[in-house]
């Protein structure tokens, strides 16, 4: 079993079993491949270099739309314009955090610096957002319902398996964030 992240003298530490590391690695990689910008071939290299993407559109996939939301609630045109200016670099920074977290999975003992911990918290949050869309968690009642699912021996279909994975990543992120909040308190 994984151990909860803890903040101590060495920094933030955690422990994951090999199977848990493999699970997280594949989740991180799934979300990375979702976020990977399509290679459109004829992209103007200069605009790509400065992070512009004039072909960017609001994603049709709900999970991707949650990762890359519109910046204005009721103004599709302004949101699209903003997306063309910023979405590419947002995708890249999310991929960067997910890759950094995946690299830390090479060892079973995790020792995280502040920056590592921030990347981990972002990466865990993004995989939870994607899992939540796949589980159709729309409101707090749905979240409570999924939260009931705690027994791995009950995992008999894809949905119950996803629910268990979601609950595991939720628990892991909560313990990490508690350790990060502790690390922000002034030392006595």
Question: In sequence order, which residues have a C-beta less than 8 Å from that of residue 188 and are 6 or more positions away?
Answer: none
As measured in angstroms, the least distance from the Cβ of 47 to other proteins is 18
Residues 107-126 that bind other proteins (CB under 8 A): 118, 121-122, 125-126
Task: Give the strand pairing for 3-8 and 11-15.
Answer: antiparallel
Q: Across the strands, what pairs with 158?
A: none
Minimum CB distance to other proteins smaller for 43 or for 183: 183
Q: Is 152 in the site for other proteins (CB under 8 A)?
A: no
Looking at 32, 56, 68, 110, which residue binds other proteins (CB under 8 A)? 68
Cα dist from 80 to 43, 59, 85, whole Å: 18, 11, 9
**Residue 41 Cβ, how far from other proteins at the closest point, in Å?**
27
> Minimal distance in Å, beta carbon 42 to other proteins?
26
Determine the 3-state secondary structure of 110 from DSSP: strand
Shortest Cβ 122–other proteins spacing (Å):
6
Taking CB atoms within 8 Å and a gap of at least 24, the contacts of 124-128 are 124/169, 124/172, 124/173, 124/176, 125/173, 126/31, 126/67, 126/94, 126/97, 126/98, 127/24, 127/27, 127/28, 127/30, 127/31, 127/169, 128/166, 128/169, 128/170, 128/173
Which residues 70-99 are close enough to bind other proteins by CB under 8 A?
70-73, 82, 86, 89-90, 93-94, 97
Give kind and range of the element (H or E) at residue 147. Answer: helix 140-147
Site string for other proteins, 25-64 (x = CB under 8 A): ----------------------------------------
Does 175 contact other proteins by CB under 8 A? yes
Q: Which residues bind other proteins (CB under 8 A)?
A: 66-73, 82, 86, 89-90, 93-94, 97, 118, 121-122, 125-126, 128-129, 132, 137-140, 142-143, 147, 170-171, 173-175, 177-178, 180-181, 184
């Amino acid at each position: 079993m994984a151990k909860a992240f803890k903040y101590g003298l060495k920094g933030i530490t955690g422990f994951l079993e090999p199977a848990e590391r493999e699970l997280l690695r594949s989740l991180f990689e799934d979300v990375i491949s979702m976020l990977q910008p399509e290679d459109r071939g004829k992209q103007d290299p200069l605009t790509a270099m400065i992070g512009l993407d004039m072909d960017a559109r609001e994603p049709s996939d709900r999970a991707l739309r949650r990762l890359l939301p519109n910046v204005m609630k009721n103004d599709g045109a302004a949101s699209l314009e903003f997306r063309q200016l910023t979405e590419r670099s947002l995708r890249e920074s999310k991929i960067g955090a997910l890759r950094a977290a995946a690299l830390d999975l090479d060892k079973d003992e995790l020792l995280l610096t502040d920056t590592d911990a921030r990347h981990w918290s972002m990466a865990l949050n993004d995989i939870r957002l994607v899992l939540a869309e796949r589980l159709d968690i729309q409101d707090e009642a749905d979240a409570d319902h999924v939260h009931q699912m705690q027994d791995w021996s009950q995992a008999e279909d894809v949905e119950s398996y996803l629910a268990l994975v979601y609950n595991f990543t939720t628990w892991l992120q909560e313990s990490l964030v508690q350790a990060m909040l502790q690390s922000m308190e002034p030392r006595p």
